[in-house]
A and B are shown apart, each in its own frame.
Chain A
Amino acid sequence: MKQGIPEIDKERCKGCGLCIANCPKNILEMANDINSFGAYYTICSDESQCIACGACSLMCPDAAIEIILKREVG
């Protein structure tokens, strides 16, 4: 199984929740906090569950999510 790390730029996030609605593992959630623009932002509650499918980064209208793929070498 592929493993990934979603890197969420909280200053770019507007809190629309499209990533949360489309995450197949349901590991994204809205933070109880606001960024400097006054918007709620998304956080990942359990990075170990991420399968690097890229659904959140595809749906994000503000390109706030980058996906890093973990690869085992050696």
Chain B
Amino acid sequence: MSTQNLHMYRRPEALLNVRTHYCAGCGHGIIHKLFAEALGELNIREETIVVAPVGCSVLLYNYINVDGLEAAHGRTPAVATGVKRAQPNRIVVSYQGDGDLLAIGTGETLHAANRGENITVIFVNNANYGMTGGQMAPTTLVDQRTLTSPKGRNPQETGYPIRACELLSTLEAPAYIERVSLHNPGAVKKTKKAIVKALQYQKEGRGYSFVEILSMCPTNWGIEPAAGADWIKTSMVPWFPHKVFRDRPAEAAAAGGKAS
């Protein structure tokens, strides 16, 4: 009897061999890794174009070995629309944060979803503006302290956190909308499944797919990374519940199965 060793988990090939600029424990790193794994699994690395947002993930194309371009703040879905229409055979992914997607880019987000563009949007929700130092974002929770809401967000003054998935699921066109998170290894696995599914649907030409990922920003939340993961579970998940809001292809398959 002898032992044979084999890799159970390997660093994904699509991830470039560079050190990222993200803070220790930042959720972007986990999402980049899952995205790179998904590209490898579906074998679509060569045909993928990533549109990077303005925010912490602005240098996304330096870390993942895919073609990429940079859009003006919030205009990522508009640029992705153009790229997809010019190059319909490429997989176009718009990677956005909460300031980009829900503050300055709300219009682009809603209309790209409403047109049902065949693109994938990965939405990283960390409840603040990370790059600029942790100011209040549209997704900041009620009573959450940030740089610009030092006494906690007051809904009388600044309203309530926007739930992007619920908002988009009122539209008719999107094919796939799901909210997932990164608070523990099980949740990370589900997140990867959601990303793979979204990319798969785009590859099959099913239409607009949207994945919201609750992510941690321990530096700007002022807590340790592990405590940040717990904070997602205890504070963010009650307001932003995990749910598949829409899965048109699966619903159609189920209905087709029943009919036959």
A contact residues vs B (CB 8 Å cutoff) = 4-5, 12, 14-18, 20-22, 37, 39, 52-55, 57-63, 65-74
Cβ contact within 8 Å between A63 and B15: yes
Residues of B within 8 A of A22 (CB): 184-185, 226
Q: Is B97 an interface residue (CB 8 A)?
A: no
Q: Is B258 an interface residue (CB 8 A)?
A: no
Q: A61-B30, A62-B19 are in contact. List 11 more A-B contacts (CB 8 A).
A: A16-B225, A18-B226, A39-B24, A58-B188, A59-B184, A62-B29, A63-B11, A66-B9, A68-B5, A71-B3, A74-B2
Cβ contact within 8 Å between A68 and B2: no
B-side interface size class: 20 to 34
Bound-complex Cα distance A13 to B169 (A): 39
16 intermolecular pairs with C-beta atoms under 8 Å apart: A16-B24, A21-B225, A21-B229, A58-B185, A60-B30, A61-B26, A61-B28, A63-B12, A65-B9, A70-B5, A71-B4, A71-B5, A72-B4, A73-B1, A73-B2, A73-B4
- State the 7 A-B residue pairs at the shortest beta-carbon distance, nearest first: A61-B29, A16-B25, A21-B226, A16-B24, A14-B24, A69-B8, A55-B185
Cβ contact within 8 Å between A63 and B33: yes
Residues of B within 8 A of A63 (CB): 11-12, 15, 29, 33
Q: Is B239 an interface residue (CB 8 A)?
A: no
B contact residues vs A (CB 8 Å cutoff) = 1-12, 15, 19-20, 22-30, 33, 184-185, 188-189, 218, 224-226, 229
Bound-complex Cα distance A60 to B8 (A): 15
Bound-complex Cα distance A71 to B5 (A): 6
The answer, among A15, A60, A62, A68, for a CB contact under 8 Å with B7, is: A68
Bound-complex Cα distance A39 to B23 (A): 11
The answer, among A14, A21, A52, A59, for a CB contact under 8 Å with B30, is: A59
With A18-B229, A72-B3 as known contacts, state yes or no: A62 contacts B20, CB within 8 Å: yes
